[in-house]
Structure 1
């Protein structure tokens, strides 16, 4: 029996379309912007991490998050709040205890997975556009099996956010006593955004209320789950905002440490 015999009476054969997609809009623009944005940020962050300088402002105790906590022997003693116990080799980042976990948290983030799958891997680049690969196996093979580590990376990211919060608090206590300047505003704003991004994570939302069967019996957790759910809807925006606040904070501290300009002080 031929395929024409199985079609309903009056139905037409499917059109033979040579084009890969019928979309006429600029569907390629979003993946392109993502490649430029993520690529630029990764380049900047990599250069800064391995510069090994201009990360600490002794006058105001400003420490860039790219070097927190500073734990190598190359760290300035005043910036090493948790000790210096790793070799000061160039190849080892000064924040080697936290950067791998932050990278893992971002790489396995549900939004970032969508972003770099579509932009760097073209898998697929957009809705109604064919995948750039001949076969598709999902996340069932190495190295994508590591995406399941996201729930564990969340705990590490929460601890690192606590460390960044501690750095922001210490920055209010300079050698001359309590002080408050533009750098404090930037550090504090970055910490707030990092917390918002971290707790808006899908794993955090599941931890708070994912296993509850009766919200009415757990009113406090329900309130927390509602708040996290509100943030979770904005997880994509927070993912990009925190990339911006991290780069801004690092650049501002670097500029002060390099002597390019002075901090705008409000108190002391």
Structure 2
């Protein structure tokens, strides 16, 4: 027998039947620590990435062919020709980043990521801020209305992220061939390669990738290859949270290193060539 309509409406933390206490929660631990640290981490990346994206300078090291991932692919008419591996077709205006064809999709891929959405739901959206802490929202509509309904497009941004990861891989590979000819390896090459490997790890460990590999299969035994792929991706998926944070750090580190070299702050230590 189903509950009366009145009882169904009177549910949640704002229901009349909830214990009337003055405290927001009876938790005695430092439950605010985690959301504060998460917000600080997000803020640091957003501020740094925004400033760098609109600087439109110090993004390419001509001597070694290093291109920062924040400017890849560099398709603005203001880009250095050597850094424009895929042509130049965007106007050179201050309000349009040189890599405007990729940055919005990468941002949406991260925003709709299952880990990231869980993180900022608890911190920015506060739904709820922490376990056993009442959220400030009187109603809950889930991901059925704007803006949260956009979360359902995550799988499509995953496909685009794969293409952009291929572009970043291409950038890292051709950087081994010096613009003046010959083969060379420097610290910058190693940083670019490590960054690309970690980006691939984060992208492949995505829940959408796991679904692409083994979703909708009724009999794993009939699809041994896809089952193997699904198994390997599932192992990576367990650490998707760690990869999400690590790649934020490596993206900033890689960009900062390329920027410092392009600005002439120091020279790139060379191992070969």
The 3-state SS of whatever aligns with 1:266 is strand
Quick check: 1:204 aligned with 2:171? Answer: no
Which of 43, 52, 59 is residue 55 of structure 1 equivalent to? 59
The equivalent residue for 2:247 is: 242
Which of 138, 142, 161 is residue 142 of structure 2 equivalent to? 138
The equivalent residue for 2:32 is: 28
Distance 1:132 1:171 in 2: 50
Distance 1:89 1:144 in 2: 31
Compute the displacement of 1:247 (Å). 0.3
Q: Which runs of 5+ in 1 are unaligned?
A: 1-12
Compute the displacement of 1:17 (Å). 3.3
The equivalent residue for 1:164 is: 168
Runs (4 or more) in structure 1 with deviation over 3 Å come to 13-17
Aligned pairs for 1:1-268 (under 5 A) are 16-174=20-178, 175-268=180-273
Flag the 1:216–1:267 CA change in 2: closer, same or farther, 3 A: same
Flag the 1:14–1:121 CA change in 2: closer, same or farther, 3 A: closer
The 3-state SS of whatever aligns with 1:33 is helix
Distance 2:219 2:204 in 1: 22
> Which sits farther off after the overlay, 167-176 or 133-142?
133-142
Q: What TM-score do the two structures reach when normalised by structure 2? A: 0.92
Distance 1:144 1:190 in 2: 30
How many residues get paired? 256
For the aligned residue pairs, the C-alpha RMSD in angstroms reads 1.3
Q: What TM-score do the two structures reach when normalised by structure 1? A: 0.93
